[in-house]
Every structure is written in C-alpha cells, then in structure tokens.
Chains A and B, each alone.
Chain A
Amino acid sequence: MNPLRPRKSRHNSNYLYLLPAFIFYILFILYPLSDTVYTSFTQWSGIGEKTWVGLENYKNNLSDKKITSSIKHSFILIIFYSFFPIIIGLGIAGMMVRIKVKGMAIYRAILFLPQILSMIVVGIAWRWIYAPKGPLNSGLDFFGLNDISRAWLGSFDFALIAVGLIGTWVMFGFTMILFIAGVQKIPKELYDAAKVDGAGAFAEFFNVTLPGLKGEIVVALVFTVTLALRNFDLIYITTGGGPGTSTMIPSMFIYKKAFQMNQVGSASSLGVMLTLLIFTLISLIIITLREKR
C-alpha cells in the first residue's frame, strides 16, 4: 500500500485499502455461499462428481415431514426467543419511564450475562437444571408435585418447550436493557403532553412508549429471530434434536445430513432455504415496521 503514488492513479490506490478485507470476505464468505447454492442443485456424497438434479433436493425437502416439522419447531422457538423476551422487556421498560434506579449498572451487568457466555456453557447449566435429579425436579418434589417431575429434555412433549425457555432466559435481559435505554431517549415533553391530555398508564404506554421504541423493537426482533432460526449450539448440547425428532431444527439437519449421512447436496439445499427464510423474515420485519412510522 503506497499512498504516495503519482496523482493520476490517486483514486485507484484507494481500492488498495479495501483489498485485504475483501480478499477474506470473497474467499471465505462469498465463494462458499455461491458454492452452497450450486451444490444445492446437485446430488453429492462428498466424494466424486456432483450430479445435477435441478430442484429435486428442494422438492424432497418440502415433502419430507421431518424437515417441514423442523421448520415448524423453529417458528415455535421464535415465540420463546423473540416474542416472550420482547413482551417482558417492553412491560418493564414501560414501568421504568420516569423511575431512575440507583445501581442500574450492576443490574445491567447481571442481566446481560447470558449474552456473553458460550451457548455450550449455558446449555450445560440448563441440562443440570432440567436433569432427573436436578434443581427443577427437586423443587417440584419438595412441594409434593412428584407427578409432574420428569427428565424434561428427554420428554417428547416438553423438550421443545424446555429448550425454548432457555432461549427466553438468554434473551430477556438483553431486550430489557435495550428498551430501558430506548425509553430514556424518548423526549419528556411527549409524556408531559400525554399527562395533560389525561392519559392513564395504559394510554401512555400505547401512545408514547410503544411508538417511541419502534426502532429498538425492530433491532430486537431481527436479533432474536435470527438466533432462534439458527440456534445450533444450544440444541446440539441439550437434546441433539431428540428425543426422536421432537426438537430437530433445520441447522441440526444440515449438520447431520452433510457430516453424518453424506447427503451433501440435500444439506446444501436446506442451507439455502434457511438463509432465504432468515432474509425474508428480516426484510418483512423491517418493511412492515418502517412503513407504519
């Protein structure tokens, strides 16, 4: 990189500043992405030639009940990862409009904790909570609710909900912090005006706080929905997709098909579908919430 070049090539030399970053980006992001798209139209076991099959993999995915139900699981997880934390965060932020709490820095540091730790660590902590002799069952037994206690992560009926609640636990502190910070940016005059108009707490929340937090809500939705749809680490360490396929999600299928079942073409098509799903949902969130503004 030499910025002291003759003046003629001055503008071309500017591109040199972009070069190193783009080399990495092209080699390790854009090229693999295009390769996945290509492989998704082929049948390939990982060795030998790829056989072009057109849309076959996609058709098979959409008619495979295990795969469609894994997408359904992802949408159920969105409720736990996204909607619950956002509702909790909004509720608390709505109450905090005029209250300045001392020691907020400490609360914030604690509430943010699940965000910084490896999902493998989080998963192991929760595996213990949900274990047959773990704290949850001990608590239920203590209150004489022995009938309810069970191996939560091994239960066909409860495993998905149990994993979902971990997601709520990971996310609720983040949405709280985000929304409380957002509320403080809403001009005080708006609240004063609402008060003059005789608005109660509910009217104040729906007319001032909620519209004022629109930007933060978009951010929280995009962040949490993306995580709910990917979510590989937590499922891998807690249930591995089981029992049966009751907690299977697309990213787990991608891993299993590509690296355990040698169905690389099929795994690639699932990868493309997951990417498209995430892009579509993010665009929908941004478009619908922006236009209402």
Chain B
Amino acid sequence: MKKVDQEKLIAHGLFIFGSIIVLYPFFSILFLALSEPGARISGFTIPTGVYFDNFLKAWTDGGFSLALWSSLIVVLGVVSITILCSIPAAYAFEKLSIKGASPLFALLLIGLVLPYESLIIPLYYSMRKFGLDSTYWSLILPQIGLSIPFSIFWLRSSFRSIPVSLSEAAMLEGASKLTILIKILLPQIKPAILTLTVLLFMWTWNEFLLALIMIQEPEMRTAPLALSYFAGNKRYGDPAITAAAAIWVALPVLIVYIFLQRRFISGMVTGVEK
C-alpha cells in the first residue's frame, strides 16, 4: 500500500470514529423512542420492531402540536423583524456617511458577547409592568434585540464585498439611496440573507431561558420549554416517551439542516470568525 493511501485510510478511520461518537446518543434515543411501549429497555437492547406509539403519546400528552406552533410564531416574528431592521442599519454603516459610526458600531459589539443572564431580570419585570409577560411578544421583542448585533455585523460584511462601482453608477444616474439599496444591493446579498435567516431560525427555535421565565401558560410554551416540562414530569416515568418528545422538538431544525447544512456550517464558522 502506498503511503498516501495509508494516510487516507487513517483519516477516514478517524472521521468515522468521530462521527460514531457524535451520532451514538442520537441513535440511542431514536431506538429508545421506537421501542415497544412499556417494554423493559436497557441500554443495549436492540429493538424488536418499530413502534410509533411513543411518538403519538408524546404528541398528544406533551402538547407538542401547540408547542411547535408557538415556536413557529416566535421564530417568524424574530427572524422577519430582525432582518427588516438590520438591513437598513448595515447598509447605513457600510455605504452611507454617518458621523460617529465607529462608536455606535462598537456599542453593538457589546451585544455580541453579552451573556443573556445579565438581562433577564429587568426584562422580566418590564414585561410584567407592561402586561406582556406570558405573551409571545415577551419572547419576540428581547430576542430581536439580541439578534440585531450579529445580524448587522453579518450583513455589513456582505455589503462590504459588493464593489463600490455598482452603487456609484446608479448614484450618477440619480437613483436615491433607498432605491440603490433595494434594487441594486439587496439582490447581490441574497445568499447572505438566506444564511442569516437559517442561523436566526435555529437560535430562536432553541432558545430556552427566556421562555422558562416569561411563559407561565402551558399552552403557550415553546418547543424546548414544553420538552423540559415533559421530561421533568416524567423523570421517573417512561424514558421512551421523553425520547420521542425530544425527537419531535429536534425535527424541524434537523429537516432544515439536512437541506441547508452548508449554510449552517459556513454561517457559523465564518460568523464566529468575523
């Protein structure tokens, strides 16, 4: 065997080993969820057949149809408003002349590393003061604020990569700033906006702490919150149903990931690098 082949074999071996380690916990709860209801399961039991009863039970008992719906509403609100607000801001930072742009931008950077935990207490009391606790707004509004720094950051660097000549030509023809943004620049950064949408969807879908504090009504719980209550109640009950519930919650993100995984990965890797 040539040396190169040998090296490649070792490389494949390493990657396969790593993949198994990553996948094992997921497959182990998948097997658990697909097992026969009420069967005595231990870690090494190989399922005797495929049963979807646990999935049905989790769906109806855990109220996950409502929870997925709640999450969807919150995601739509956060993603759409964040992107609508961030595009003009990123455009202004990159292409328009603004006095004090760098201190303003630096102010935004604080939001990139700020831990949530330092904001939740006043957010909770303000939301309660305005009667917004236990409404979807109490989840949507703060998460827009949290998503805006990264979104402006991300979109600004996308605007930067567009050659200046494009907008200059339009400006000479007398196009307004808003027309230049909508007609000329936005089509250029469509892929960047799609990647941002996917990332914001994932982060908002998975958000937990804010929902834990704000939402008291069971029927308004978001998917991860419903899952945590379900798992908490059934801690000494049937782990198979909890496993099925976890798969319900993971499924929407997983489906989007299967189709758009390149965007997730390139988005997060370049996103944190920036």
Are A and B associated in one complex?
yes
* B130-145 Cβ-contact flags toward A at 8 Å (1 or 0): 0000000000011011
**Interface 0/1 of A34-75, CB less than 8 Å to B:** 011001000000100000000000000000000000000000
Which of B220-268 touch A at CB < 8 Å?
A: 223-224, 227-228, 231, 239, 242-243, 245-246, 249-250, 253-254, 257, 261-262, 264-265, 268
Chain B residues whose C-beta falls within 8 Å of the C-beta of A133 in the assembled complex: 41-43
Instruction: Write the chain A residue with the least CB distance to B28.
Output: A135
Taking A20-B89, A46-B125, A134-B43 as contacts, is the C-beta distance between A121 and B118 under 8 angstroms?
no
- Name the one of A18, A119, A172, A236 contacting B18, with C-beta atoms under 8 angstroms: A172
* Dominant secondary structure of chain A at its interface with chain B: helix
A76 within 8 A of B: no
Interface size on B, residues (CB 8 A): 98
Which size bracket describes the interface of A in this complex?
A: 35 or more
A196 at the interface (CB under 8 A from B): no
Alpha-carbon distance between A79 and B249 when the two chains are bound, in angstroms: 30
Contact with A along B64-92 (1 / 0, CB 8 A): 00000000000000000100111011011
Of A107-115, A155-163, A187-195, A204-212, the one with at least 4 CB within 8 A of chain B? A107-115
Specify which chain A residues have a CB less than 8 angstroms from the CB of B97 in the assembled complex. Answer: 11, 14
Is the beta-carbon distance between B121 and A264 smaller than 8 angstroms?
yes
Residue of B nearest to A47 (CB): B125
| Docked-complex contact A254 and B117, CB < 8 angstroms | yes
- A: residues with CB less than 8 A from B are 1, 3-4, 11, 14-15, 17-18, 20-22, 24-25, 27-33, 35-36, 39, 46, 92, 95-96, 98-99, 101, 103-105, 107-122, 124-129, 131, 133-139, 142, 169, 172-174, 176-178, 181, 215-216, 219, 222-223, 226, 229-230, 232-233, 236-237, 250-251, 254-255, 258-259, 264, 267-268, 271-272, 274-275, 278-279, 282
8 contacts between A and B (CB under 8 A): A18-B89, A24-B145, A29-B145, A111-B18, A116-B254, A118-B208, A125-B243, A254-B117
**5 closest Cβ contacts across the A-B interface?**
A28-B145, A135-B43, A138-B43, A17-B92, A35-B122
- Residues of B at the A interface (CB closer than 8 Å) are 4, 7-8, 10-12, 14-16, 18-19, 21-26, 28-29, 32, 41-44, 81, 84-86, 88-89, 91-93, 96-99, 104, 107-108, 110-111, 113-126, 141-142, 144-146, 148-149, 152, 176-179, 202, 205-206, 208-209, 212-213, 223-224, 227-228, 231, 239, 242-243, 245-246, 249-250, 253-254, 257, 261-262, 264-265, 268-269, 272-273
